[in-house]
Amino acid sequence: MDGQLLEPTLYTIKGIAILDNDGNRILAKYYDKNVFPTSKEQKTFEKNLFNKTHRANAEIIMLDGLTCVYKSNVDLFFYVMGSSHENELILMSVLNCLYESVSHILRKNVEKRAVLDSLDIVMLALDEICDGGIILDADATSVVQRVALRTDDIPLGEQTVAQVLQSAKEQLKWSLLK
């Protein structure tokens, strides 16, 4: 029974992936060198995972000795993987944070096209959620604060007065410098 007792460690996440609706990788990170060491093995696993999950909207599955929790929207699939003995609810909290952060970054427009348009920010968000397999933050609001969204991307109505002033100032400065 000893195998079931988890070593007390901060290393919780084995992998995080975002796939499109053909099962192709948009972003994926594997944090444990013993789990799928080569990119070929990773992609085979992703294909397999996608085939098993894209029709069943079931939220959780065991595959290749990993517990994978997942969530999908329009043409995107979000996955968080952990060891098969890991607390599923911890994995779920990470998945929810990932999804909500991405949704917030894309202003609720969660689809492939939008992710690719803001890929840089989504990469930063992923980096803020998990650092080398350790959960860095699992609160979407604070993740979004930390990735520093470009202020000029936010529609005028949602900006604060200070932000509007700041961007006006910068535009003025540049027009003078020209």
What burial class does residue 116 get, using C-beta atoms within 10 Å of its C-beta: 0-12 exposed, 13-18 middle, 19+ buried?
exposed
Q: Considering the rule CB under 8 A, would residue 65 count as an interface residue with other proteins?
A: no
CA dist., res. 65 & res. 85, Å (int): 9
Q: Considering the rule CB under 8 A, would residue 6 count as an interface residue with other proteins?
A: yes
* Member of 49, 76, 91, 102 binding other proteins (CB under 8 A): 91
Q: Minimum distance between the CB of residue 12 and other proteins, rounded to whole angstroms? A: 9
CA dist., res. 68 & res. 59, Å (int): 8
Q: Considering the rule CB under 8 A, would residue 110 count as an interface residue with other proteins?
A: no
Q: What angle do CA 143, 148, 152 make, to 5 degrees?
A: 135
Query: Which positions lie near other proteins, rule CB under 8 A?
Result: 1-2, 4-10, 25, 27-29, 39-40, 42-43, 56-62, 69, 87-93, 112-113, 116-117, 119-121, 123-124, 127, 131-132, 134-139, 142, 146-148, 150
